[in-house]
Amino acid sequence: MKMKILTIHFQNYLFPCFLLFFILFLVLFPQTNLTAAREGIALWANNLVPTLLPFLIATELLSKTDLVQIFGRFLTKWMRPLFNVPGEAGFAFLMGIISGYPVGAKIITDFRKQNICTKEEAERMLAFCNNSGPLFIIATVR
């Protein structure tokens, strides 16, 4: 009985203790932390933004055209029986493969907001539309 109370008590304070150690190390090693933060921001600004921004803009512009509905009409006969998702998922899949990680998920989020798919269909589409694209790998992972 006494050990059980001690264990529960320890678990309640584990996360706050972790945060205190984290803050302590930030204060004790400021130069290392600033260098790491500077390198992380430089990596983001020099590699990720130039690689992903054009694809995010292009997919946003394409989604404002009738291309999504054309994909939907054409691919419904394959996407519905195979994955039980609307045909528009083919557009999300293609753009996710070409563009990389966040684009497929962003398109699916837009589909969900526009009521093109249900919550369950969106979760199912995330399983195969959120891919690492070849251009993302070539440009970012060197």
pLDDT of residue 10: 66
Query: What residues contact 85, with CB distance under 8 A and at least 6 apart?
Result: 79, 117, 121, 124, 125
Contact 51, 135 (CB under 8 A): yes
Q: Where are the domains of the chain?
A: 2-140
| Residue in this structure with the two tokens 């899949």, named with its chain if needed | 93
Q: Report d(CA 57, CA 52) in Å as an integer.
A: 9
pLDDT digits (tens, 9 = 90+) for 77-110: 888 888 888 988 888 888 888 877 778 888 899 9
- Considering the entire predicted model, what is its pTM? 0.66
Q: Encode pLDDT of 15-55 as tens digits.
A: 888 999 999 998 999 899 999 999 999 988 988 788 778 88
Give the pLDDT of residue 37: 93
Give the ranges where the chain is alpha helix by DSSP (H): 2-28, 30-43, 49-63, 67-83, 89-99, 101-113, 119-129, 134-140
- Give the span between the Cα atoms of 85 and 106, in whole angstroms: 16
Angle between helices 89-99 and 101-113 (to 10 degrees): 160
